[in-house]
Amino acid sequence: MAARTRVLQLAIVLVNLSLIALAFTSIWPFPHGDFKVHLPQAKDVTWSYENGLVHVSAPYSIDNGGFYDVDNLVISYSVTNNTRYQLAGDTFDLGKIPKGSIVPGSLDFTFDLLGFYRNGTQWMIFNDDILNFDIHVSCYYTMKLVKFDASYSTGVTWDALIRSWAVIPRPFNITSPSPYLIDYWLNTSDLLNGLPPAHLNVSFSRNGTLLGWGVSDIQLGGNQKGIVNMNILPGVSVLPGDTYTFAYEIKVMEYPLTDSWNYTVPGG
């Protein structure tokens, strides 16, 4: 009887020691840093703009330095702006990560800014915003006995593509055929550096009759200032009491900026 009890005691001790070892090796890599998930930081996110599409790339890496393989690694993300309008979102399964390996990767996604613009969502084109990245990582560890979930939220500043602009006519003194000078400036996001320039068209008319116009190209990126010459048609004379219309259009890529104003010549 005593021998049987000893054997049972020994068996229980061995089983419990095995379980303690299992629990320890399952938990230890997480606080010790052997298992690390490097989620993308705001400074790591890179942007580019092309043909109305904004390309975003956010690098990440997963370091499995633990004792067991990582199974069913799934990463999902959602990108919304400050008004919780979803710009992008996806889920992808990375599968299995063997122990001792590092898996680098990148969350690459694109959102159609031009499409938003055409659908009436123009805020992000003309205003700064904050893009909220919600990233969720889930996986199994220790032969699927441990489930690990990590969520991460970060806000990345979004600079408006077109921050401000102005077309300012000088004091009204039109004498044909001398040109009429108009000042302008355009402040756009550095994201647009290197893209084809914007086109500025100004016009001068009376009762729908074109009396003069001017054209200029404006480089994109940063604050650009300049003067456009508006050529007045020969023989045009400004009469007191008449109302004249100035109009302009700045076409920044696919986004036209237009305005007009009337001016009535005093007197008459």
Partner 1 sequence: MTRNRISDATWTAFTESIRFVVLPIMLVNLVMTNYPSLKTAFMPNLATYVLIIGGLIVGASTLECANRPGTYKRLLFGLSAVAFVCFWTFVLFGGGVAEFSYPPYYVRFDMSKILYIVLIGIALKALLVVQTFTSNKHLVVEEQVRRKAEKAVLSAPRPRPASRAVSRAPSFASLSKAAFRVTADDEVGYEPPPPPPPKAPVQDYKECPVCGVKASLWETTCKHCGAWFSGPFK
Q: Please state the closest distance from residue 30 (CB atom) to partner 1, in A.
A: 7
Of 21 and 210, the one with the shorter C-beta distance to partner 1 is 21
Of 23 and 215, the one with the shorter C-beta distance to partner 1 is 23
Q: What is the distance between the alpha carbons of residues 111 and 129, in angstroms, rounded to a whole number?
A: 15
And the tokens for 141? 């560890």
Candidate residues 15, 53, 130, 181; the one interacting with partner 1 per rule CB under 8 A? 15
Candidate residues 106, 154, 203, 231; the one interacting with partner 1 per rule CB under 8 A? 154
Count Cβ atoms below 10 Å from residue 56 Cβ, excluding itself: 21
Region of 67-75, 147-155, 199-207, 230-238 interacting with partner 1 (CB under 8 A) = 147-155
Task: Rule CB under 8 A: say whether 43 interacts with partner 1.
Answer: no
Candidate residues 43, 149, 207, 267; the one interacting with partner 1 per rule CB under 8 A? 149
Task: Rule CB under 8 A: say whether 157 interacts with partner 1.
Answer: no
Candidate residues 21, 53, 102, 145; the one interacting with partner 1 per rule CB under 8 A? 145
Of 29 and 169, the one with the shorter C-beta distance to partner 1 is 29
Region of 19-27, 92-100, 178-186, 221-229 interacting with partner 1 (CB under 8 A) = 19-27
Q: Please state the closest distance from residue 101 (CB atom) to partner 1, in A.
A: 21
Task: Rule CB under 8 A: say whether 34 interacts with partner 1.
Answer: no
And the tokens for 74? 């799934």
Of 20 and 227, the one with the shorter C-beta distance to partner 1 is 20
- Residues numbered 77-106 forming contacts with partner 1, rule: CB under 8 A: none
Region of 12-20, 100-108, 202-210, 232-240 interacting with partner 1 (CB under 8 A) = 12-20
Of 123 and 152, the one with the shorter C-beta distance to partner 1 is 152
DSSP of the chain, one letter per residue? Answer: -HHHHHHHHHHHHHHHHHHHHHHHHHHTHHHHTSEEEEPPPGGG-EEEEETTEEEEEEEEEEEE-SSS-EEEEEEEEEEE-TT--EEEEEEEEEEEE-TTEEEEEEEEEEEEHHHHHHTT--HHHHS-EEEEEEEEEEEEETTTTEEEEEEEEEEEEE--SEEEEEEEE-SS---TTS-EEEEEEEEE-GGGTTSPPEEEEEEEEETTEEEEEEEEEE--SEEEEEEEEEEEPTT----TT-EEEEEEEEEETTEEEEEEEEEEPS--
Contacts of 195 (CB under 8 A, 6+ apart): 49, 220, 221, 253
Q: Please state the closest distance from residue 211 (CB atom) to partner 1, in A.
A: 59
Contact residues for partner 1, defined by CB under 8 A: 1-2, 4-5, 8-9, 11-12, 15-16, 19-20, 22-23, 26-27, 30, 39, 142, 144-154
